[in-house]
Amino acid sequence: LFLNFRGKLTWDTKVIDILGDRIQFPDEHMTEHVTIRDLLLHRTGLPRYDDLWIANQFSNEDIFK
């Protein structure tokens, strides 16, 4: 996913505006309203999955899914 967002992406850009139907959170309200700022500040309320990156058997594609 390499898109040119130069000058178009802000902290308050909604994630769904970037990824469209490729992203879905646990509920519809969250899917519609989570922003780049929310993700970077870890304030979505989603659990952490740090251990997926350390010594795992999953491909990057599997982790993204």
* pLDDT score at 44: 92
Q: Phi then psi for 59, rounded to 5 degrees?
A: -80, 165
pTM of the model: 0.66
CB 19 within 8 A of CB 39: no
Q: Is 14 helix (H, G, I), strand (E, B) or coil?
A: strand
At 4-55, the pLDDT tens digits run 667 778 899 999 998 999 899 999 999 999 999 999 998 998 887 767 667 6
